[in-house]
A and B are shown apart, each in its own frame.
Chain A
Amino acid sequence: EVQLVESGGGLVQPGGSLRLSCAASGFTFSSSWMSWVRQAPGKGLEWVANIKPDGSGKYYVDFVKGRFTISRDNAKNSLYLQMNGLRAEDTAVYYCAIGQASYWGQGALVSVSS
């Protein structure tokens, strides 16, 4: 059974940093593109970033470029999202997903507020 379990969410002040993790199991993680998708409270879905199976390619939407970094550790079957320079508008549930979102985790809530 495919499982994606996010962790690391929480409350952070504007300008602060947070690192999300996603523990993957039940599929061949090292062969899979991985993604982060977010959803602001009561709003729709927004793609955030993708990473190639070997980590050699990383792709970001414009509104997180230079602030967020996607990475992975294939030995640990884990995906990460390092978020720096957080803004109030980054408040959202962040989902880890496989490829074109064939499977999703339960999400991690990130709240940015003073």
Chain B
Amino acid sequence: DVVMTQSPLSLPVSLGQPASISCRSSQSLVNSDGNTFLNWFQQRPGQSPRRLINKVSNRDSGVPDRFSASGSGTDFTLKISRVEAEDVGVYYCMQATHWPFTFGPGTKVDLK
């Protein structure tokens, strides 16, 4: 199975400041068609997860543009340009290139 790792696992941030989360996969997430199925999810406290980003860098509908993502191959990054209070929660990367799909361990974002 593809192992997904994230860093940091805990990220205290100040309101209005940027935040960045790294995600790495144990093997390339580029499939035979050239697509890279790396997604990012946000899970606010007490809520179901919500997908923010699909295929490395595409924001899902309704996701604020302060969220951006990039990467290729095995290295990926999620950035929040200016953290707002509603961004507190756990962020997961997930690969859907190889079966079984696998998630990273999660990065907990909270306020300093």
Which residues of A are at the interface with B, using a C-beta cutoff of 8 A? 37, 44-47, 50, 59, 61-62, 95, 100-107
Asked if residues A104 and B54 are in contact (CB atoms below 8 Å), the reply is no
Shortest distance from the beta carbon of B95 to any chain A beta carbon, whole Å: 10
B residues adjacent to A (C-beta < 8 A): 37, 39, 41, 43, 48-51, 54, 60, 92, 94, 96, 99-106
| Closest chain B CB from A109 CB (angstroms) | 12
Pick from B37, B48, B92: contact of A44, CB below 8 A: B92
With A44-B92, A47-B100 given, is the CB distance from A95 to B37 under 8 Å? Answer: no
| Contact call B49/A47, Cβ cutoff below 8 A | no
CB distance from A38 to the nearest CB of B (A): 11
A46-B103, A101-B49 known; 16 new pairs, CB 8 Å cut-off, are A37-B49, A44-B104, A44-B105, A45-B41, A45-B49, A45-B92, A45-B103, A47-B103, A59-B100, A61-B100, A95-B48, A100-B39, A101-B41, A103-B51, A105-B48, A106-B48
A60: nearest chain-B partner, CB-CB = B100
Contacts of A106 in B (CB 8 A): 48
**For residue A100, which residues in chain B have a CB less than 8 angstroms away from its CB?**
37, 39, 51, 54, 94, 96, 101
CA distance A105 to B49 in the complex (A): 9
- Name the CB-closest residue of A to B37: A100
29 A–B pairs (Cβ distance < 8 Å), ordered by A: A37-B49, A44-B103, A44-B104, A44-B105, A45-B41, A45-B43, A45-B49, A45-B92, A45-B103, A45-B106, A46-B103, A47-B101, A47-B102, A50-B101, A59-B99, A59-B100, A61-B100, A62-B100, A95-B48, A100-B37, A100-B54, A101-B49, A101-B51, A101-B94, A102-B60, A103-B51, A104-B50, A105-B48, A106-B48
State in angstroms the CA–CA spacing of A105 and B50 once bound together: 10
Instruction: List the 5 shortest-distance A-B pairs measured between CB atoms, nearest first.
Output: A47-B101, A104-B48, A61-B100, A45-B103, A100-B96
CA distance A107 to B41 in the complex (A): 16
